[in-house]
């Protein structure tokens, strides 16, 4: 009888150990949160040699890292095309999307968004000698946008024809090469491109472009993860960390 108890205890101990090793009963992804992003959007996310999360750096990457850390987890990043992010989220390939993504009503139909952490607006990047001073001036110009960005939706809604590129850098190159007259893109990213390229300037038109709020997306109904994300965002907003990150990464981007 004694022997049996001992054997049973040993067996139980072995099972417990095996469970710990394989993390059975826990989250299937172990202790990592997988964030999907499109690292073509400085100062929010870009590829660098030594980033906040592996080779990925920027305001969003610092926020993602903090969310994971606050929950005793690590942050993993899957870099993909911007267009693919919400599909990957719905497929369960990634746990959340952090990509300078504007929380729009259309996107809200398929995913849930966190508390907004940054306010931006669409702006126009033009050559320094351009005569474009308002969105209406784009009417007879060659317009470049980035595929799937809210900037594309804005230009579409204005009824203008445009050319869509996969990356912001490609659209800006088209502009510097004189093949297009204006690039419509988010404000902070536009600033980065203007400081990186000679001879460009930003034209704002707040009456034509509404303000947009960036938020993190999770699968509809994933309140468990959303609560974790919101806790960290609320904290980082309240103590000024997100402001500091915005300043830090904007300066860093400009100094390069």
C-alpha 190/C-alpha 209 separation (Å) is: 14
Instruction: Single out the residue of 167, 158, 164, 116 nearest to residue 138, CA to CA.
Output: 158
The tokens for 65 are 């890292």
* CB contact set of 173 (below 8 Å; sequence gap of 6+): none
- For residue 178, the minimal CB distance to ligand ARG (Å) is 25
Query: Any contact of residue 45 with ligand ARG (CB under 6 A)?
Result: yes
Q: Which of 34, 38, 66, 191 binds ligand ARG (CB under 6 A)?
A: 38
Q: Which of 35, 143, 186, 226 binds ligand ARG (CB under 6 A)?
A: 186
Query: Any contact of residue 162 with ligand ARG (CB under 6 A)?
Result: no
Beta strands 32-37 and 96-97, pairing class? parallel
Query: Any contact of residue 102 with ligand ARG (CB under 6 A)?
Result: yes
Query: Any contact of residue 114 with ligand ARG (CB under 6 A)?
Result: no
Query: Any contact of residue 41 with ligand ARG (CB under 6 A)?
Result: yes
Determine the interface stretch with ligand ARG among 46-54, 93-101, 124-132, 227-235 (rule: CB under 6 A). 93-101
Determine the interface stretch with ligand ARG among 2-10, 27-35, 38-46, 244-252 (rule: CB under 6 A). 38-46
* CB-based contact 195:254 (threshold 8 Å): yes
The tokens for 216 are 């993190």
- For residue 116, the minimal CB distance to ligand ARG (Å) is 12
Three-state DSSP string of 186-226: EHHHHHHHHHHCCCEEEECCCCCCCEEEECCEEECCCHHHH
Interface ranges with ligand ARG (CB under 6 A): 37-38, 40-41, 45, 82, 99-102, 149-150, 186, 212
């Amino acid at each position: 009888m004694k022997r049996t108890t001992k054997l049973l205890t040993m067996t139980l101990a072995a099972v417990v150990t095996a469970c710990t090793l394989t993390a059975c009963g826990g989250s299937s992804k172990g202790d990592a949160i997988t964030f999907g992003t499109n690292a073509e959007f400085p100062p929010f996310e870009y590829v660098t040699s030594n980033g906040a999360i592996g080779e990925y750096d920027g305001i969003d990457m610092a926020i993602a890292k903090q969310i994971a850390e606050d929950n005793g987890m690590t942050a993993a990043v899957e870099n993909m095309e911007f267009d693919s992010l919400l599909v990957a989220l719905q497929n369960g390939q990634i746990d959340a999307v952090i990509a300078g993504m504007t929380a729009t009503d259309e996107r809200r139909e398929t995913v849930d968004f966190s508390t907004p952490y940054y306010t931006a607006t669409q702006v126009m990047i033009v050559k320094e000698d351009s005569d474009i001073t308002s969105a209406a001036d784009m009417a007879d110009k060659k317009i470049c946008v980035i595929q799937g960005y809210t900037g594309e939706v804005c230009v579409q809604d204005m009824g203008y024809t445009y050319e869509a590129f996969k990356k912001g850098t490609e659209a800006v190159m088209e502009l510097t090469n004189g093949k297009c007259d204006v690039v419509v893109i988010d404000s902070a990213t536009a600033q980065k491109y203007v400081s990186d390229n000679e001879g460009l300037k930003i034209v704002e038109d707040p009456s034509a472009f509404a303000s947009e709020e960036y938020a993190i997306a999770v699968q509809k109904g994933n309140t468990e993860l959303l609560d974790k994300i919101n806790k960290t965002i609320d904290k980082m907003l309240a103590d000024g960390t997100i402001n500091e990150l915005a300043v830090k990464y904007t300066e860093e981007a400009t100094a390069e």
